[in-house]
């Protein structure tokens, strides 16, 4: 672990604590690092709202992301490969995708609540909408970026369509697919937190937790919650990178 | 030349003093408790007192309005007593209560065909509240604990009142507690029925109050008094002119007359601060661990019960 990575963070925290001690900003606008640590302790031990502990909030959020994101990958990767491969399919579907794509997932929330209610399904749906386009587009571009000579070479070796698809296109697209997946999980995680702001039936979720900290006017907890979300996002991203490295090696 | 400059300066000073900074007021969206503010706006009570008001924010719930004070965008606000106490106790805002706006005026609603007959039947079921530390949150927990039921078995979730009716209708929640006119709307839409009026949970409980930022009040006490006078006139007006007041309520909530009539039957408007009731909220919020403030004199410092009297002298 390089020391320089953490140097900047440590310096920023020190500056932050000094600013708080000097009361440059009122504590309810910028809680000090100490307040944030205290807030984190409260989230972990007492829970916000009282009795609802941090780890359960995190687990429910992760569960929702798993569903929405998993579904997005399952649908967008095969579809992306097919659309990259077949010009006619691409022409047919791309307009639809281009119309739906710019609509922010959060704009779907009222409809999602009408269709799926305020539970797991509607949150998963919003996340799905956020993650689907980047994975799809990266997959398509991954297919398109394969050197056409490889395909020609495969054809001269009398490779059938199926072989070209599974042995040339798929492996060649993997780097792009993983890029799309990493973008997708980032968007999925961000969308989840905001989607939970509107209410979750289960009573647990990181976005919901932050909203509760806001209701109870505890800015130290709000920032602690935000940092937890950031760290979890970081861990997920690292996880995908490790999976990517393993799969590419195996390839 | 000198005469022109002099008269221009005089004119300038005259106009700027007449147009002192307008008072930035916030209120809660479609909350019929805030009717005195709407009436004062519509009937020109603020103008008659010589004060200009600008609506600086319309919020979906009390805690959000208190964030407006934290952010420095509000001078005064119509808001629930409970979120006010929470915000001040947790040092997120520094406001004082100048006058009461209403007492009672909330209700616990269950589905029209729900088998729930009383609060005991709600054990383990999902109930929606407008936000943590709202008046409705406190009322609901009071109702549960008074029955000797455990709060642990209670699943409370936060939804904004407009979403509560839809959630009840589609069976996502078993009950909701909200300010009027949302309970009345659920009933008039044939979606829900009244399980408990808030007055059944706690008779004469205080609800919304008129608050002012402490710093703002220090610098603009006269202006604040004008606002309070207009508010008192509006409260009196509502009592004497229910039909006209109802029309104002219809305009500001967008709901039909039948709903508003039902809603207004459940609300008591008054300008007299319920000092005892507000102290009781403080203790209750402390027990719920929403506020981490053990200062017993806190409740006294947050209220100015003589302000309404001072305003009319």
Nearest C-alpha of chain A: how many angstroms from B106? 19
Q: Domains of chain B (ranges plus CATH)?
A: 22-103+206-312 (3.40.190.10), 106-201 (3.40.190.10)
Residues of B in contact with A29 (CB under 8 A): 70
Q: Is B169 on the interface with A (CB under 8 A)?
A: no
Amino acid A1: pLDDT: 57
Q: Hey, are the CB atoms on B159 and A217 less than 8 Å from each other?
A: no
Return the domain boundaries, chain A.
56-212+237-250
On chain B, the residues whose CB falls within 8 A of the CB of A218 are 90, 92
| ipTM value | 0.76
Cβ–Cβ gap A216/B170 under 8 Å: no
CB B68 within 8 A of CB B77: yes
pLDDT (0 to 100) of residue B41:
95
Window A:187-226, CB contacts with B under 8 Å = 198-203, 208, 211-212, 214-219
**Closest chain A residue by Cα to residue B82:** A216
Give the pLDDT of residue B153. 59
User: A203 and B159: CB-CB below 8 Å?
Assistant: no
B154's enclosing H/E stretch is: none
What pLDDT was estimated at residue B111? 95
Q: Which of A215, A219, A222 to mutate to test the interface with B (most CBs of B within 10 A)?
A: A215
Query: Could you tell me which CATH number the domain at A56-212+237-250 has?
Result: 1.10.3720.10
How far apart are the C-alpha atoms of B12 and B201, rounded to whole Å? 56
* Residues in CB range of B252: below 8 A, 6 or more apart: B30, B35, B38
Residue A159 CA to residue B301 CA, distance in Å, equals 84
pLDDT in tens, B29-82: 999 999 999 999 999 999 999 999 999 999 988 999 999 999 999 999 999 999
Query: Is B87 touching A (CB cutoff 8 A)?
Result: yes
Q: For residue A160, what pLDDT band results from cuts at 50, 70 and 90?
A: confident
Contact A118 B152 (CB under 8 A): no
Instruction: Please tell me the distance in Å from B313's CA to the nearest CA on chain A.
Output: 36
Most confident of A10-24, B220-234, B299-313: B220-234
Give the Å distances, CA to CA, from B184 to A154, B36, B188, B256, B267: 72, 19, 6, 10, 11
- Provide the pLDDT confidence category of residue B219 given band limits of 50, 70 and 90: very high
* Per-residue pLDDT, A30: 84
Q: Inspect the interface and report whether the beta carbons of B70 and A211 lie closer than 8 Å.
A: no
Shortest Cα distance from A67 to chain B (angstroms)? Answer: 20
pLDDT tens for B282-306 read 988 888 888 877 787 888 889 999 9
Q: How far apart are CA B271 and CA B36, in angstroms?
A: 10
Taking an 8 Å cut-off on Cβ atoms, the answer to whether A217 and B152 are in contact is no
**Please, which residues bridge with residue B108 across strands?**
B177, B196
């Amino acid at each position: 672990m390089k020391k320089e990575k953490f140097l900047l963070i440590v310096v920023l925290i020190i500056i932050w604590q000094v600013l708080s001690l000097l009361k440059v900003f009122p504590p309810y606008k910028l809680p000090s690092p100490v307040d944030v640590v205290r807030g984190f302790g409260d989230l972990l031990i007492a829970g916000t709202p009282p009795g609802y502990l941090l780890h359960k909030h995190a687990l429910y959020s992760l569960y929702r992301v798993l569903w929405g994101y998993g579904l997005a990958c399952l649908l967008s990767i095969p579809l992306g490969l097919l659309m990259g491969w077949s010009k006619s399919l691409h022409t047919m579907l791309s307009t639809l995708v281009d119309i739906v794509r710019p609509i922010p997932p959060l704009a779907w929330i009222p409809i999602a609540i009408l269709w799926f209610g305020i539970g797991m399904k509607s949150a998963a749906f919003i996340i799905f909408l956020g993650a689907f386009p980047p994975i799809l587009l990266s997959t398509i571009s991954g297919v398109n970026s394969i050197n056409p000579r490889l395909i020609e070479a495969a054809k001269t070796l009398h490779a059938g369509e199926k072989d070209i698809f599974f042995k040339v296109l798929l492996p060649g697209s993997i780097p792009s697919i993983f890029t799309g997946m990493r973008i997708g999980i980032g968007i999925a995680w961000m969308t989840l937190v905001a989607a939970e702001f509107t209410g979750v039936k289960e009573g647990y979720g990181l976005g919901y937790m932050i909203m509760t900290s806001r209701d109870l006017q505890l800015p130290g907890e709000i920032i602690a919650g935000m940092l937890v979300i950031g760290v979890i996002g970081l861990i997920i991203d690292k996880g995908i990178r490790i999976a990517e490295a393993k799969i590419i090696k195996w390839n | 030349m000198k005469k022109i400059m002099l008269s221009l300066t005089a004119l300038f000073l005259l106009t700027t003093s007449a147009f002192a900074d307008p008072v930035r007021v916030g209120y809660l969206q479609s909350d019929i408790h805030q009717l005195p503010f709407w009436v004062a706006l519509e009937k020109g009570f603020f103008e008659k007192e010589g004060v200009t008001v600008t609506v600086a924010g319309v919020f979906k719930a009390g805690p959000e309005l208190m964030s407006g004070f934290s952010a420095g965008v509000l001078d005064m606000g119509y808001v629930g007593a409970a979120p006010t106490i929470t915000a001040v106790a947790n040092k997120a805002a520094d406001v004082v209560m100048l006058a009461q706006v209403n007492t009672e005026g909330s209700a616990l609603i269950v589905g029209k065909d729900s088998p729930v007959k009383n609060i005991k039947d709600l054990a383990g079921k999902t109930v929606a509240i407008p936000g943590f530390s709202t008046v409705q949150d406190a009322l609901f927990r009071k109702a549960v604990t008074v029955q000797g039921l455990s709060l642990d078995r209670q699943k409370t979730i936060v939804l904004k009142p407009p979403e509560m009716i839809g959630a009840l209708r589609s069976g996502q929640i078993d009950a909701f507690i909200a300010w009027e006119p949302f309970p009345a709307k659920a009933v008039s839409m044939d979606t829900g029925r009244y399980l408990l009026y808030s007055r059944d949970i706690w008779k004469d409980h205080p609800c919304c109050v008129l608050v002012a930022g402490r710093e703002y009040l220090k610098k603009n006490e006269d202006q604040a008094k004008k606002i309070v006078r207009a508010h008192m006139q509006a409260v009196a007006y509502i009592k004497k002119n229910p039909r006209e007041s109802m029309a104002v309520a219809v305009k500001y909530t967008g709901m039909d007359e039948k709903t508003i009539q039902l809603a207004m039957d459940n609300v008591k408007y008054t300008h007299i601060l319920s000092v005892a009731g507000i102290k009781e909220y403080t203790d209750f919020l402390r027990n719920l661990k929403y506020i981490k403030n053990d200062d017993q004199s806190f409740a006294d410092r947050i209220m100015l019960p003589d302000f309404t009297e001072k305003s009319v002298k």
